[in-house]
Amino acid sequence: MELKGKRVLVVGMGRTGVPTANRLHAMGAVVSVTDKGAVGRDEASKLSEGIDLETGSHDRALAGKFDVVVTSPGVPWDGPILQRHRERGAEVISEIELAFRLAPRAWIAITGTNGKSTTTALVGAMMRESGVGAVVCGNIGNAALGEDAIFDPRMKVVAEISSFQLEGVATFRPRVSAILNITPDHMDRHKTMGEYIRLKRRIFELQRGDDVCVLNMDDPETARLAPEVPCRLFPFSANGRLEEGVFVNDGRIVISSRGDTWTAGATRDLRLPGRANLENALAACAIAFSAGADVGAISRALSSFEALEHRLEPVAEVRGVRFINDSKGTNVGSTLKALDGMTGRVAVILGGRDKDQDFTPLADLVRRMGAGVVLIGEAAEKIAVCLKGYEPVVRADGMDDAVRKAAQTAGAGGTVLLSPACASFDMFRDYRDRGDKFRAAVRKLAGEPALTGGRG
């Protein structure tokens, strides 16, 4: 893709805007950046000299003429600024589409509603353990275009891809793709499940021949996509044996491919807690194997890999109460899986900014488990309505109060799980800030007098 002298607009700073703009500038493009929000001086200073920055409005960007418009994931695909430039003849693409065009190497692309970051990081560990150079990037936190390594032909690009990024792809063809699961999320943006699924399937639509697509056969929505896959299908399942793919048999993780089978490890040896992480581990095995990692390396990485921050992360045990930080549980499906892996007495902290979700399935599981519930944030009332008549359900003012009340509800021998099933932006900067505040509240609780309460 020739960019020298091209007029390129980057819409949105975010985590991807700055590295995208700087890469475009380094390649000779005439770059402008626009963001309707306020941009701090420190963030603005990260842009290369010569890049035009507009903040607080899109006025200059709307008036300008551009050859290419690159959008950050947080910018609505049907928003007025993107629509205006489409009408003027500009090509509008996502930053992940741009990265692929500039470095069309052996991409490994991983999407799904939940588990993307853990699976992506684990695949990266498996590839490196196998002696294969791998750069982990994308929605996991570091923009692909901020990584020089994606331009190294010896490297494999292991990318976490969101539905927002898939809105803006046109030529994206990964060597290995994966859809981990599909449950309702981002309905405030995508409006319908049909549209959300349509975006997820884009990850494999341009694959052909010996490309590989990994699907979760235990998830109804991803399993339904299997007949549509235009390349080799290499699925995974925790529930049943597969002729081709990765599955669990008698506590062993088995890889079966073209008549041969290998054991990658035992489920009891995984350092990742819960059913959701078992599925993530199976997916990572299928993806890494399809990308050329050897089984020994896969096994070694499986047995040593630990949970990422804010994803079913064990925080501490305080006077017999275990605390687990799953702040990345930002939708109902994610929290359902987190709770499904819990045993014993559980108190779960729920709430935040709603994404137009139905909390009924979550309320049903809470009732069946007999879990205690502590509610925070804007969605507290909506969740409380779903739990009408059930106890214990308590409201909390802030994270310190939520942790204290959840610990009292769980009692010694119990578990406090932060898995809010909601976005964080009503009370916190982002899910990381929410998880950090949870950990700080647990540390604070450890210095307080002994807990009272409990249910048991």
Catalytic residues: 116, 139, 186
Number of residues that make up the chain:
456
CA–CA separation, 418 vs 360, rounded Å? 19
Cα dihedral across residues 414, 352, 200, 293: positive or negative: negative
User: Does the bond joining 392 to the residue before it have cis omega, within 30 degrees of 0?
Assistant: yes
SS3 at position 10:
strand
Cα–Cα distances in Å, from 121 out to 111, 337, 398, 416? 13, 19, 31, 26
Between the CA of residue 376 and those of 81, 273, 365, 431, what are the distances in Å?
35, 25, 19, 14
Helix locations, 229-369, DSSP H: 274-290, 295-304, 332-340, 360-369
- Assigned token pair, 417: 């799980």
Ramachandran class of 347: left when φ > 0, alpha when ψ lies in -120 to 50, beta otherwise: beta
Structure-block tokens of residue 264 = 């990658």
Rg (Cα) of the chain, in Å, rounded? 23
φ/ψ of 446, rounded to 5, equals -60, -25
Chain CA centroid to CA 123, Å: 14
346 forms beta bridges with: 415
Residue with tokens 């770059």: 31
Contact 53, 37 (CB under 8 A): no
